[in-house]
Amino acid sequence: MRVSTGLSQALEALLFVSDEPVSAAALAQALEVDRRDVEESCAGLAAAYEERGAGIVLRNIAGGWRLTTHPDAAPFVEQYVLASRHTRLTKAALESLAIVAYKQPVTRHQVSAIRGVNSDGVLRALADRGLVTEVGREDGPGRPMLYGTTPEFLERLGFASLSSMPPLAPLLGVAEDEPETAGE
């Protein structure tokens, strides 16, 4: 079935104004059309952007459709963003974020123990940026808060899910079939 130009135009407008991935079901409801028509139209838009070498791409990430900049434009986007008010994550924030991402759910104390320094402020800053969130409480004494990553974390890093993150073993120089002893 060929999807109408009007539907593609409306989808493109909704995706343009959205600040997070939008599920096909939510788009279908907003446009009062069938979800399959939305999926077909989004796939068509994505192909059209790629075919013409557009500076934007339409990707299905973190459970929804999102307009993003084309990876080939990354150096220009990075230069522009760095020159603006946005700041990069500090080394401490990146370390803490990696620990939370790979070991979640994890307590603040566990993050601090792995890093070897107090990580309270760093975790607060990551939570303020929407990259980590409180996901529950541990059953141990004092019932410490457990942290995990957010959908925004997936979105910013371009992962469809946590399972699409690169395996940790090769990054540590550990063979895939060897048991990891770090953190156990």
Same domain, 66 and 103: no
Same domain, 101 and 66: no
Domain annotation covers residue 84: no
Same domain, 123 and 165: yes
Same domain, 68 and 100: no
- Per-residue pLDDT, averaged over 109-118, amounts to 93
Neighbours of 139 (CB within 10 A): 7
- Out of 19, 41, 73, a domain closes at 73
Same domain, 99 and 137: yes
What integer best gives the mean pLDDT of the chain? Answer: 86
Could you tell me the pTM of the whole model?
A: 0.50
Comparing 79 with 115, which gets the higher pLDDT? 115
Domain annotation covers residue 86: no
Same domain, 99 and 57: no
Same domain, 119 and 165: yes
- pLDDT at position 43 over 50: yes
Alpha carbon 181 to chain centroid distance? 28
Same domain, 107 and 165: yes
Domain annotation covers residue 67: yes
Neighbours of 105 (CB within 10 A): 16
> Looking at the 3D structure of the chain, how many domains does it have?
2
- Closest to 1 measured CA to CA, from 36, 50, 49: 36
Domain annotation covers residue 129: yes
Same domain, 51 and 101: no
Local confidence band at 183 (pLDDT 50, 70, 90 cut-offs): very low
pLDDT at residue 160 in the model: 87
User: What gap in Å lies between CA 69 and CA 71, rounded to an integer?
Assistant: 6
- pLDDT at position 90 over 90: no
Task: Provide the residue type at 66 as one letter.
Answer: R
Domain annotation covers residue 184: no
- First vs last Cα of the chain: how many Å apart? 53
Domain annotation covers residue 121: yes
Residue spans of beta strands (DSSP E) within 117-182: 132-137, 145-149
pLDDT at residue 103 in the model: 94
Domain residues for the domain of 141 are: 91-172
DSSP string for residues in 71-82: GGGHHHHHHHHH
Same domain, 144 and 115: yes
Contacts of 110 (CB under 8 A, 6+ apart): 99, 103
Local confidence band at 4 (pLDDT 50, 70, 90 cut-offs): low
Domain annotation covers residue 182: no
- Closest to 103 measured CA to CA, from 119, 89, 90, 87: 119
- Closest to 25 measured CA to CA, from 8, 42, 49: 42
Domain annotation covers residue 180: no
Angle at 87 between CA 85 and CA 93, to 5 degrees: 155
Comparing 113 with 180, which gets the higher pLDDT? 113
User: What gap in Å lies between CA 47 and CA 34, rounded to an integer?
Assistant: 20
Comparing 37 with 128, which gets the higher pLDDT? 37
Comparing 83 with 102, which gets the higher pLDDT? 102
pLDDT tens-digit series, residues 63-88: 899 999 999 998 888 777 666 444 67
Same domain, 106 and 155: yes
pLDDT tens-digit series, residues 141-157: 889 999 999 998 988 88
CATH code, domain with 155: 1.10.10.10
Same domain, 54 and 105: no
Would you say 107 and 146 are in contact if contact means Cβ atoms under 8 Å apart?
A: yes
